[in-house]
Amino acid sequence: MSRKCIASFVLIASLCVVVASAQETATASSAPAARKGDQSITIIGGGFIPLFVLDNTGTPVATPNMSPGAAFGLQYRYMLGKHFGIGGSIAGSYVTTIGGGTLFLAPIGLSAAWVGGTELLEFEGSTELGMNIMRLYGNGIISPYAKLGIGLSRYINSSWSIGAKMNWWFVPELHIGTYSNLNSFANFLEFSVGATYHF
């Protein structure tokens, strides 16, 4: 097993331990109602699974030749009201290839989210758009990307919550001119756990 896979496993296991221990200390009056001006910072880590790749004609590539990897990120959110927030994120992820290479993705984006829930539990649906830096075998490209996500979190107290999130990534690799036949459109699934500080 590679060092990167071991490190990813340790990160995910550590976050799960934090989540489990936090569940024991939560109280019934932990979650304040969200209001305009509330802010939050979330740190996440988890797995990253290649789903499928479309070529420049929109035809699925028979064998994408990628194995599961890991994802991590830092997210900021500002609430415009009780249920709607905007923000941004800096993230990173990688998957390994059948040839022993590693495809790195480093997106920076702006996001919007709808947030709802109960006193202790909070759920969200989010969308994100931005630019993505990809590198494979020393070659790099910058392309747009899009994410759709859902999440569920539980408040520990008025300042902290822990939870899980799943994101679908749509990652185009766009070329122009004579290289436009190399265009492709990759789809990935990210599942992560994280901790959020509310202020």
Q: Which of 177, 181, 184 has the alpha carbon at shortest distance from 134?
A: 184
For 11-29, how does the pLDDT look when each residue is reduced to its tens digit (9 = 90+)?
A: 555 555 444 444 444 444 4
Beta bridge partners of 149: 126, 167
Topology given in CATH for the domain delimited by 3-198 = Porin (2.40.160)
* Residue 71 near residue 35, CB atoms below 8 Å: no
How far is 33 from 152, CA to CA, in rounded Å? 16
The most confident of the ranges 9-13, 139-143, 173-177 is 139-143
pLDDT of residue 162: 95
* Residue 76 near residue 17, CB atoms below 8 Å: no
pLDDT level of residue 33 (50, 70, 90 thresholds): low
For 87-129, how does the pLDDT look when each residue is reduced to its tens digit (9 = 90+)?
A: 999 999 999 887 778 889 999 999 999 999 887 899 999 999 9
Please give the backbone phi and psi of residue 194, each rounded to the nearest 5 degrees, phi first.
Answer: -165, 175
The token pair at 102 is 């590693």
Please give the backbone phi and psi of residue 118, each rounded to the nearest 5 degrees, phi first.
Answer: -110, -165
For the chain, domain boundaries: 3-198
Tokens 């190399």: give the residue: 182
